[in-house]
A and B are shown apart, each in its own frame.
Chain A
Amino acid sequence: MKFFTTKAFFALFFSAVVLLSACQPSDSEMNKNPKMAPSTPEVAELTATITDDAFVVDGAWARVGMQGGMSAAYFTISNGLDQDDVLLGATSSVAQATEVHETYDAGEGMMGMRERESLPIAANSLTEFRQGGLHVMFLRLTEELSEGDEVQFTLEFENAGDVTVTAPVRMR
């Protein structure tokens, strides 16, 4: 009886191996498990640090865009002051309208974009404007923005006042 049980066990085992080897991972299985990312976009590591007693906008760049089209600018706001601030808005001469926006998860796998009026900037904080998140949005560009160009825009803060930023234009 012992012999028999061992034999049956091996029969079972080899059957399973044969059946499993016939079952190559199929594309349809892969479709159900789409390769999803690490949850954040591939962006440069955050190198900015908070400078004590200083209010700095750093690391700015803007996206290429066609005339009449859209573009966006990204940067880091470093508030090393002990006072909270508020980003009230943005202006520029490169577009018919310049707004503070954020991209957000609109649910059901969709991404949306909305305006952020009055964005709080806490004391002693870093606020990152990055791809897939906060951005200064240029609506209806008055000129084409190509790699190598520069754009200027002004951020209006409640306490820090107007901060003018120069951003090189890049594809990514």
Chain B
Amino acid sequence: MTTPSTTPLTLPRPFARCIAILAVFILSSCVSEPTESFRDLSVTLTDHRGQTVTFPDDYLGSPMIIGYVYTNCPDICSLITANVNQIEGLVRESNPDLAEQSSTDQPSYILMTFDPARDTPEQMAKYAASFNMADEPFHFLTGDSTAIQTVMERMRVRTSVSYDTVNASGQRVYFLSHSDKIYLLDEDASLVYEYGGSMTTPTMMANDLSNEL
């Protein structure tokens, strides 16, 4: 073999090894995990217009904002819903050319319930209307409990029953402790960002969504 001192282009062993180790280290840090995709979920749900939909299939092709709520929750969930509403307004304002594109090219703004027992499509419709969000591009999704459970598990949205009482008129009243999340998915239903749903400023989420357009 040549000696290092006479062939400047050949690296001495310790350096070569060092570079190899460095390469492995750097590469492993950036190819660690594939992007989390929800594309294969293909779950059948119902929107607040009473339409049967397949999630996420029917919404592919443009980015999605998804908030997780239940309608019997006036504080945190209302805040999440109001945030999604505000994101839509901000994105529309800052992307005036969106208006000229077909509805399939518009981002989808989805509110999905994790309380399907109470949140029927009719209930979701009333809830949407009370926030002036009954029309496109808003979609309030519910479904049978198995379908919802499948989605929530995959999306890591957790719930547990708290505050369970029977009121004076004999009706069961219960609240849920729940994850506080809004997701931004890209046009292929891969997760771009996961936000604290009630705590994140709509401006920040709207900017992130605009960057996906």
Contact = CB atoms under 8 A, between A and B. Distances in A.
Given A15-B19, A37-B201, A108-B158, A135 B75 contact: yes
B180 A23 contact: no
B75 A101 contact: yes
Given A41-B199, A65-B74, A171-B131, A28 B32 contact: yes
Q: Provide the main secondary structure of the chain B interface.
A: mixed
A26 B35 contact: yes
A64 B79 CA distance: 11
B171 to A, nearest CB: 8
A37 B196 contact: yes
Nearest to A110: B177
A133 to B, nearest CB: 8
Contact of B201 (A38, A111, A171): A38
A30 interface: yes
Contacts of B204: 35, 37
A163 B9 CA distance: 86
Q: Contact residue range for chain B?
A: 35 or more
Q: Contact residue range for chain A?
A: 35 or more
Interface stretch (B59-67, B136-144, B159-167): B159-167
Contacts of A41: 79, 198-199
Contact of B193 (A34, A71, A113, A131): A34
Interface in B19-64: 19, 22-23, 26-27, 29-36
A16 B78 contact: no
A96 interface: yes
Given A3-B8, A12-B18, A15-B19, 15 more contacts: A8-B12, A8-B15, A12-B22, A16-B22, A26-B30, A28-B34, A35-B208, A69-B72, A96-B168, A108-B158, A109-B179, A110-B177, A111-B178, A137-B75, A172-B79
Interface of B: 4-5, 8-9, 11-12, 15, 18-19, 22-23, 26-27, 29-36, 71-76, 78-79, 82, 85-86, 126-127, 129-132, 158-160, 162-163, 167-169, 173, 175, 177-180, 186, 190-196, 198-202, 204, 208
Considering the complex of A and B, which 5 residue pairs feature the smallest CB-CB distances, nearest first?
Answer: A23-B30, A112-B177, A37-B199, A34-B194, A172-B82
25 contacts: A7-B9, A11-B19, A23-B29, A27-B186, A28-B32, A29-B32, A30-B192, A34-B195, A35-B195, A42-B202, A70-B71, A70-B73, A96-B168, A97-B168, A103-B76, A109-B158, A110-B177, A110-B179, A111-B179, A114-B163, A139-B167, A171-B82, A172-B82, A172-B85, A172-B86
